[in-house]
Amino acid sequence: MNTYEVRPRKVADRTVRPPGSKSITNRALIAAALAAGESRLAGPLRSDDTGAMIGCLRKLGVQVSDAGAGLVVRSDGALHGGGRLDARASGTTARFITAAAALAYGPSIIDGTARMRERPIGALVAALRGLGAVIDADRDGSYPPVRASGGGIRGGRITIDGTVSSQFISAVLLSAPRADGTVTVEMSEGTVSRPYLTTTLEVMASFGADARWIGPDTITVAPTGYRPTSFEVEADASAAVYPWAAAAITGATITVAGIHPGSTQADMSALGVLERMGSVVTTTARGIAVTGPTRLEGVNADLNHCPDAALGLAVVATFARSATRFTNIANLRVKETDRLAALEAELTRLGARVETGADWIEIHPGPRRPARIRTYDDHRMAMSFAVAGLARSGIVIEDPGCVAKTWPGFFDMLESL
């Protein structure tokens, strides 16, 4: 098996720019595909996940081509039946394309990896049915592959269960401007990762959609369609968590460029957790900087709004001098792997004592020891634990290539520190 051994080093103060946001790139690709005309995306993420989205859109009749560091999307505003659409291991692609395929003129089957077939999609299928779509999925409509007959979305008022993923809600919102009538979405109590919904609405507005909150849990979308535009993709806050975590555990100052301080990206919440652990967060002309403390403290934190950041923060917690508890993260069990189980196993290898429950993890730092880290084909496991190797000897990452899902150049960045 291919492995990567991280070399401990004294980390110098650095400025890094993560790739474009995966979340924003895939949202912008959907909006551009549903707009009649030519759109240009500057600074998009180039990765396995966005490659999956582009592949699906091309099968639906959308032209997507390279333009230097950007992408050009040409569409007549209509989608055609795409046959089998391979979402690979990309959750955003599987969910967003499922809703988009309901608008197509012909049938499509949305499928992916073996793990994707284990990731629930029933709440989205039920919501689309409620809007008049003809759609079904395996195991009583709950798991991919999904069969979308196409023919459009009628519109109406629905309630979506967002307790597993807010992507179900975003998927409906992104396709709603092309519905026959107004779509009003009420989200269930306990919807996770709500900041991502704000990001969705911001992308939609950039492409001319009329989508807005009309209550604390209700969004309405008018059937205005989209207009083509030029759109700049912000750097990825989810990726930024790893250099910020590196600063926290090494005491260095690492500045992340390309993210606005007022960004609505969900994983910006990780900065507040790092501050509570003792790090100093500052905004400079170059970007957002984190400076690690001489001693890290354990914290109790609700990570419902930023569950993807939990992995990097959990690794930081092993360097603290007291225990850390992260709660309200049940949806980590249905990500690329069962991330709570994976964290428990691999943090224990690092020497920590770890306990997990249905929606929480508690980390008690212990004697540091070398470890060969299993990554479970999960990019965030690989990146999070690689950061630990900057301050601990003997950290070997199995299957390091899995980082290509969202940050193909991650290990180059790590070496640059």
412: exposed, middle or buried (Cβ count in 10 Å: 0-12, 13-18, 19+): exposed
Q: Which of 48, 161, 308, 378 is catalytic?
A: 308
Asked if 302 is an active-site residue, the reply is no
Please give the positions annotated as active site.
308
